Structure 1
Amino acid sequence: MKKFVLAPAALTISMLFAACSTTPTTTSQLDLARSDFMTAQSNPSVAANAPLEFKAASDALDSANTAAAKRESLDDIDKLAYIAKQKIATAQEAAKAKQAENEVASAARQRDEIRLQARTAEANSARVAADRAKAEADAARAQADAATNSARDEAAKNAALQQQLADLQAKQTERGIVITLSDVLFQVDRAELSAEGLRTAQKVADVLAQEPQAVVQVEGFTDSTGTSSHNLELSQHRAESVRNALIGLGVPSAKIATRGYGEAFPVASNADAGSRQLNRRVEIVLSQNGTPIANRR
């Protein structure tokens, strides 16, 4: 099979960091995609066993890097980086599956060689050797099949999880994955979740069900309207309302902490109604590997 030369993505990364005196636009999502690509590129099995998938991943990362170099919108860069991450993951999983298939073929060849040697020996010895070889080949095949199925199942599970996170518009940050619930998911100036808010909580619970090691911190925020004490109390109540909803949906209570920040850490100016609505939110911070979630600073 003709092999592809997959230098463009790595070359683009180097050019982006050395192109000019100002740092090119980037995002945490793009940084993760670059890191994933370098990991895949350093594994010879990926290029050897999944050249087409790896070429697609390289092209996708080139698109994301080009968008960053042109200083396109962060959302567009994140979308392209997300696509690149998925294609890199697909290439890695395809390589694993192909490697498992090669192991099956190698085991079959070994079995045939043993059988050929057994024919030259005495009948009884040949029969014993052939039986042993067959048993070893069957075990190797079963192991390889199990590895292939496991890799396929893991890839499917990861793809489904990534789709769920994408549906929730989750973002990867240094503190963990952040899922934002907007003010419209609550009753006006109250902590109770609306029907739509409860449906969103169900989606979050579905994600957490697939992440047994995950820990969660639910953080509430308000705009600058009203007194600081009222805002702080409302933000805490809203965070606790989301926590209670998740517990009711089966998420263990010990995994969920809450904190209200009131009007602190705004994401918009509070100068108009639209900006204030953006500040009225609840953020669910998810640490997938169970490590503590860093406090806001």
Structure 2
Amino acid sequence: MRIALILAALAAVAALVLPAHAQNARSWVASTGVDGNPCTRSQPCASFSRALSQTNAGGEINCVDQSDYALGANIAIVKSITIDCESVQARFGLASAGIQAIIVEASASDVVTLRGIDIDGNNLSGVGIMFASGGALHIEKCVIRNFDTTSFNGAGIADSLLIGSTSELFVSDTVVTNNGTGTPGAGILVNPFVTSTVKVTLNRVEARGNFFGIKADATQVSGGVIQMTIRDSVSSGNTSNGIVATGNASGPAIVMMIDRSTSSHNAAGFGVIADGPKTTIRLGGSSIAGNINGVGASNGGVLQSYGTNQINGN
């Protein structure tokens, strides 16, 4: 049922993508832009949606100034592209209900980069960024917040592979907050729906005030592997577990490394927990404090410590 719901949502968003008349290697959006413009520096557009349609695959979209470039609507990214608004920290705020704000449903060789965007669900949408297909997705220096509706139970970032056999997600210098209302809602959720090798690297990420902070869920498909590295990151003040990896005997194996990170003051569950017979979490140089329970392993899961952690006050 959930796969059917997601596929229907993808089809609906794809139908909104404007016909491709791309001509720019670099396109521009601005607060004074008009979507009838060609999205050049001298004639910028008003929305990311229009700029995507005017930009060649492998091109770049930049922001002239700080503004909201969603115009209330979600977008689908179906090709290699960079949206770089780091210098102005653009906004992308939804004004109507939907399952996701941004869907990446690109080809297996495509690389997408999102940089310097404040993505706000305004408590109307289920997912901030959904990675449904593509070779690699880079999310850098972004804020993703307020995706906490009951559809999909909310997630700031959902690595939910629907097509393809491999993918890589890189998240760095990013905050995910106030996302998720219940299982499996999370600040960052990794839950592939096809047998695949999913690689995830989180570096200098802060997950706070979500339902789960960071969650790998291997219960949606048989076979495959989820490989995750979490480094120099914080998962704090979440409603449930801070960092959790959960699976079953038939699902993907989960191998997670947590290095120089903190999971603290999470209101229920564990700071870090490995659940399921094919789940392994390795923990080093990290602080686990102020949670209901510190660290744990259940249902055959394995949690290995390098002996360099501070696990106190739980």
Q: Normalising by structure 1, what TM-score?
A: 0.27
Query: Which of structures 1 and 2 has the bigger CA Rg?
Result: 1
Q: Normalising by structure 2, what TM-score?
A: 0.26
Higher relative contact order (CA 8 A, sep 6+): 1
Instruction: Select the structure that is richer in strand.
Output: 2
